[in-house]
């Protein structure tokens, strides 16, 4: 084939592909433009997942009539004069290609008026065919509507997902920017229904109510951390945001929102830093809800890594990483409260809820109570009867508890300064042992116990392979295993924490579990967790009063006493207040 210069329309379609992948990309670009134009309120209307209509209206600076045409041309921007400016960038846009890209693949209509002008101007560009700007009445600001996205690029259009899925992506974009800019009012309407609004009052917590809902927002706590950069003598990194308590988690990372200088970004290593902070506080495979803004001087971060600007590169990624982790971990340890039991709790109730509750006869209440106890509501997404959790107390430790007895040979029932506590004996002991082992290991002195006589254990081929590959970690923990003829090992010593167990069965169970993958951030941790789990007292084991007291005393000494090694809660709390309410004393 001959080499030929592509025509304008083809060039436009090709480069549009880089910036505009789907309706949500159009929404992101239009919203960023509105933010760059100093909007105070932004309203977004979506029809059919954005395939029929995407409209973003703002009350910002507006586009001067003389610039309307150039706004939709490629590489035209009002935000950047030279390459040098890129280093001190404070606007979202700078590449000058978003509007041109949207214009190339949609039926675009721009309506805009600046403060200086008494009339507005309108421009239409149908898949690249531009009309002349025409005068029209308009409010100050800009309204940009893109219709029939990708109608001229069938391959792209076909690749779009169902309307609801595309609408979901759009909602994420708006949620992220609404959280990045709490002082700006956002409204998102999908097929005529308002699905997200924020009040623009300027406060992150109230923006979070708009984006995550009141129930989730009530379980998020603020964090901030500043790391001064000695080398440069300026504030190197500032991390601020709201992070979800371990009581609310999700099955994916969709509600983990990362912003850098208020730009919504994707960054695996920052997400990982945050997730690490929840380590052992939430279950493996669950993800936190959070919104975190990292502020760094603009010349210390490169946002021009990718056309969509969602990837960034930091000059000092390690400093950002560690600052975020310190902020999050510290905040979590301070706030992790006893799992409050979601009984029927008090909150500004609607009158019909109050009536429903009053109608509840007492026997029924008694029946509901155990059912609610059974419901641990681990991810907080299915609250019963509008529960509002006891707000985080800021109390890092568990209070001093007085043991009353044992329920089902599994739960220790205790009284504390504020009501009643139920402790899962296995989960609690597992937490105690894990911390003990990790602490000793950090000091370089795993405690092991020599067996009087070596024990010969028969292992399956899988178990043998695991014993071999995890040999080093097992040794570090205090296991001493030696090959002993075919398919067997001789066990000479065990970790001291395992002392009360039958070593044969426990070692075999531990090898099975590590072989299945185990948990933890390192293999050592996986082995430590598994060992702690298998060394801990079991559910169903009767304990004496003094054993229970000892267990609680040790739990009080833990750094993160409220969750077991797997992130399950160790304690449920029924406050004095709740007790009185349940028995209608108030």
**Residues near Mg ion, by CB under 5 A:** 33, 93, 98
Which stretch in 1-9, 26-34, 261-269, 534-542 sits in contact with ligand ADP by CB under 6 A?
26-34
| DSSP 8-state code for residue 195 | E
For residues 578 and 563, give the distance between their C-alpha atoms in angstroms, rounded to a whole number. Answer: 22
Tokens 């002349």, located at residue? 132
Asked if 94 is part of the footprint of ligand ADP (rule: CB under 6 A), the reply reads yes
Candidate ranges 8-16, 55-63, 153-161, 472-480; the one touching ligand ADP (CB under 6 A): 55-63
CB of 96 to Mg ion, least distance (A): 7
Question: Nearer to ligand ADP by C-beta: 79 or 475?
Answer: 79
The residue among 76 and 295 lying less far from ligand ADP, judged by its C-beta, is: 76
Element (H, E) at 508: helix 503-515
Interface of this chain with ligand ADP, residues 115 to 154, rule: CB under 6 A: 142
User: Judged by CB, which is closer to ligand ADP: 102, or 332?
Assistant: 102
Smallest gap from Cβ 32 to Mg ion, in A, equals 5
In 3D, which of 391, 434, 428 has the Cα closest to residue 411? 428
Of 33 and 152, nearer to Mg ion (C-beta) is 33
User: Is residue 275 involved in binding ligand ADP (CB under 6 A)?
Assistant: no
Residue nearest to ligand ADP (CB): 93
Binding segment (CB under 6 A) for ligand ADP, from list 70-78, 219-227, 313-321, 441-449: 70-78
Among the residue ranges 27-35, 292-300, 433-441, 542-550, the one whose residues contact ligand ADP (CB under 6 A): 27-35
Interaction between residue 60 and ligand ADP (CB under 6 A): yes
Q: Which does 58 bind (CB under 5 to 8 A by kind): Mg ion, ligand ADP, none?
A: ligand ADP
Name the nearest CA neighbour of 146 among 110, 100, 194, 189.
Answer: 110
Q: Which residues within the stretch 98-117 sit at the binding site for ligand ADP (CB under 6 A)? A: 98-100
Q: Are 196 and 174 in contact (CB under 8 A)?
A: yes
Min dist CB 51 to Mg ion, Å, is 22
Size of the site for ligand ADP (CB under 6 A): 23
Kindly report the CA angle at 344 between 339 and 346, in degrees rounded to 5? 95
Answer yes or no whether residue 288 interacts with ligand ADP by CB under 6 A. no
Q: Which is nearer to Mg ion, 63 or 296 (CB)?
A: 63
In the set 16, 26, 27, 37, which binds ligand ADP (CB under 6 A)?
A: 37
Classify strands 571-574 and 339-340 as parallel, antiparallel or unpaired: parallel
Between residues 200 and 416, which has the closer beta carbon with respect to ligand ADP? 200
CB of 29 to Mg ion, least distance (A): 5
Q: Distance between CA atoms of 451 and 455, rounded to whole angstroms?
A: 8
Q: Beta 290-295 vs 256-260: how paired, if at all?
A: parallel
The secondary structure of residue 386, as a DSSP letter, is S
Question: Is residue 409 within 8 Å of residue 542, measured between CB atoms?
Answer: yes
Close Cβ partners of 519 (under 8 Å, ≥ 6 residues apart): 284, 525, 526, 529, 530, 565, 566
Is residue 43 a contact partner of residue 64, using CB atoms and an 8 Å limit?
no
Task: Return the number of the residue (135 or 347) whose C-beta is nearest ligand ADP.
Answer: 135
Closest CA to 174 of 55, 302, 90: 55
Applying CB under 6 A, which part among 59-67, 205-213, 268-276, 288-296 lies near ligand ADP?
A: 59-67
Residue recorded with tokens 């399956």: 460
Question: Which residue lies nearer to ligand ADP by CB, 33 or 463?
Answer: 33
Q: Considering only CA atoms, which of 276, 56, 291 is closest in space to residue 172?
A: 291
Check binding of 34 to ligand ADP (CB under 6 A).
yes
SS3 156: helix
Give the pair of three-digit tokens for residue 261: 């200088």
Among 18, 52, 77, 157, binds ligand ADP (CB under 6 A): 77
96 near ligand ADP, rule: CB under 6 A: yes
Dist CA 311 CA 323 (whole Å): 19
Q: Which does 37 bind (CB under 5 to 8 A by kind): Mg ion, ligand ADP, none?
A: ligand ADP
> Hey, is 139 helix, strand or coil?
coil
Q: Which segments of 277-397 are extended strands (E)?
A: 287-288, 290-295, 301-302, 313-314, 339-340
CA distance 567 to 550: 22
Q: Is 95 in the site for ligand ADP (CB under 6 A)?
A: yes
| Nearer to Mg ion among residue 33 and residue 448 (C-beta) | 33
Run of H or E including 136: strand 134-136
Q: How far is the CB of 76 from ligand ADP (least distance, A)?
A: 6
Compute the distance between CA of residue 110 and CA of residue 134 in angstroms, rounded to an integer.
Answer: 11
- Give the range of 5-13, 58-66, 82-90, 286-294 binding ligand ADP by CB under 6 A: 58-66
Residue 520 binding partner per list Mg ion, ligand ADP, none, with a CB distance cut-off of 5 to 8 Å that depends on partner kind = none
Chain contacts with ligand ADP (rule: CB under 6 A):
29, 33-34, 37, 58, 60-63, 71, 76-79, 93-100, 142
């Amino acid at each position: 084939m001959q080499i030929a210069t592509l025509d304008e329309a083809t060039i436009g379609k090709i480069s549009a592909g880089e910036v505009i992948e789907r309706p949500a990309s159009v929404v992101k670009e239009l919203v960023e433009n509105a933010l760059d134009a100093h909007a105070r309120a932004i309203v977004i209307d979506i029809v059919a997942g954005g395939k029929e209509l995407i409209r973003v209206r703002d009350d910002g600076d507006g586009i001067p009539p003389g610039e309307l045409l150039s706004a939709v041309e490629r590489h035209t921007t009002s935000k950047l004069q030279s390459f040098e400016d890129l280093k001190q960038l404070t606007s979202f846009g700078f590449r000058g290609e978003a509007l041109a890209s949207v214009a190339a693949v949609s039926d675009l209509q721009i309506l805009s008026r600046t403060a200086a002008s008494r009339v507005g101007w309108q421009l239409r560009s149908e898949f690249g065919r531009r009309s002349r700007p025409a005068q029209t009445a308009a409010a100050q600001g800009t309204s940009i509507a893109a219709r029939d996205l990708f109608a001229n690029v069938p391959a792209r259009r076909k690749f779009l997902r169902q309307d609801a899925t595309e609408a979901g992506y759009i909602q994420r974009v708006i949620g992220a920017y609404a959280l990045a800019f709490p002082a700006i009012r956002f409204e998102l309407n999908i097929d005529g229904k308002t699905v997200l609004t924020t009040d623009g009052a300027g406060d992150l917590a109230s923006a979070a109510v708009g984006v995550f809902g009141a129930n989730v927002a009530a379980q998020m706590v603020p964090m901030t951390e500043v790391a001064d950069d000695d080398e440069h003598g300026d504030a190197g990194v500032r991390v601020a945001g709201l992070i979800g308590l371990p009581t609310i988690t999700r099955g994916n990372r969709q509600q983990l929102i990362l912003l850098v200088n208020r730009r919504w970004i994707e960054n695996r290593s920052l997400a990982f830093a945050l997730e690490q902070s929840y380590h052992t506080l939430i279950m493996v495979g669950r993800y936190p809800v959070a919104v975190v803004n990292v502020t760094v001087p603009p010349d210390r971060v490169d946002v021009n890594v990718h056309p969509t600007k969602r990837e960034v590169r930091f000059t000092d990624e390690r400093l950002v990483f560690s600052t975020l982790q310190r902020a999050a971990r510290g905040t979590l340890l301070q706030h992790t409260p006893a799992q409050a039991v979601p009984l029927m709790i008090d909150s500004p109730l609607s009158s019909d809820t109050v009536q429903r509750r009053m109608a509840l006869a007492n026997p029924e209440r008694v029946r509901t109570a155990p059912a609610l106890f059974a419901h641990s509501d681990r991810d907080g997404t299915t609250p019963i009867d509008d529960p509002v959790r006891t707000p985080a107390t800021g109390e890092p430790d568990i209070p001093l508890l007085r043991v009353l007895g044992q329920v089902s040979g599994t739960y220790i029932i205790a009284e504390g300064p504020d009501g009643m506590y139920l402790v899962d004996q296995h989960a609690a002991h597992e937490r105690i042992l894990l911390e003990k082992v990790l602490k000793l290991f950090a000091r370089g002195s795993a405690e092991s116990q020599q067996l009087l006589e070596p024990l010969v254990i028969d292992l399956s081929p899988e178990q043998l392979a695991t014993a071999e590959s995890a040999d080093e970690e097992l040794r570090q923990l205090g296991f001493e295993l030696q090959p002993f003829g075919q398919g067997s090992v001789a066990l000479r010593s065990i970790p001291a924490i395992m002392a009360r167990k039958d070593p044969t069965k426990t070692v075999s169970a531990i090898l099975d579990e590590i072989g299945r993958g185990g948990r933890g951030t390192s293999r050592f941790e996986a082995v430590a967790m598994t060992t702690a789990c298998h060394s801990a007292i079991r559910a169903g084991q009767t304990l004496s009063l003094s054993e229970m007291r000892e267990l609680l005393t040790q739990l009080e000494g833990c750094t993160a006493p409220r969750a077991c090694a797997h992130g399950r809660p160790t304690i449920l709390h029924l406050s004095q207040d709740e007790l009185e309410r349940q028995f209608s004393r108030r």
